[in-house]
Amino acid sequence: MISSVSFHPFISHFPPSLFVAGVLLLFLSRKKNRPLYKTAGSFNLSIGLLAAVMADFSGMLSTDIGLRAVVEVEGHQGYSFLFTILYGFCTGYSYTQPHSRTAHILYGCGLLAMGASAWSGYLLVF
């Protein structure tokens, strides 16, 4: 049986990779004028959003178990929550207006929040 402590590191690798792949596919769909890439990019973002929500909840459960002090993980939780919120907006824009200026700003902010979340998670591990 997979406990929440071991489940969080397993699932937390999917949201960043699916986000980067989804955004790259959206940019390729515009550059190469291929609507199939837009569909694939939106699908990647949708699956990644589900994985991000699961990673958030499993991370909160891992903190409640008490292996680390809450102060140590508050920054990571904040960045992860911000990334998940931005992920949701990016996913919505990928279906409605994937190449608008607002969508591009959201993709960039999502990449920054993803980097901050990944770095703070890295600091918790090492």
Domain segments of the chain: what residues?
4-125
Alpha-carbon dihedral angle through residues 102, 107, 112, 116, given to the nearest 10 degrees: 120
Q: What pLDDT does 48 receive?
A: 97
Q: Is this structure's pTM higher than 0.85?
A: yes
Q: What pLDDT does 1 receive?
A: 41
Q: Which residue has the tokens 């907006």?
A: 89
Q: What is the pLDDT of residues 46-87, one digit of tens each?
A: 999 999 999 998 888 776 666 666 667 788 899 999 999 999
Give dist(CA 24, CA 32) in Å, integer: 12
**Whether residue 123 has pLDDT greater than 80:** yes
